[in-house]
Amino acid sequence: PDEKLIAAEKKMTQHKINSLLVTDDEGKLVGVIQIYDIKL
């Protein structure tokens, strides 16, 4: 959980990505996370 969030933040920063789509196990969109949400 926290480790995955930290890894996501590192990759987002490396690739200059500000937001990611969040999907469930079936690939259905369930939300969006922004780099600003992680860095709070």
pLDDT tens profile 15-30: 999 999 999 999 999 9
Residues 5, 6, 8, 12: is their CA dihedral positive or negative? positive
Give me the chain's average pLDDT, please.
90
Tell me the whole-structure pTM to 2 decimals: 0.67
Spell out a b/e string for 17-31, using b for 16 or more CB atoms within 10 Å of the CB, else e. eeeeeeeeeeeeeee
% of the chain with per-residue pLDDT over 70: 95
- Report the C-alpha gap between 6 and 12 in whole angstroms: 10
- Say whether pLDDT at 1 is over 70: no
Specify the DSSP class assigned to residue 24.
-
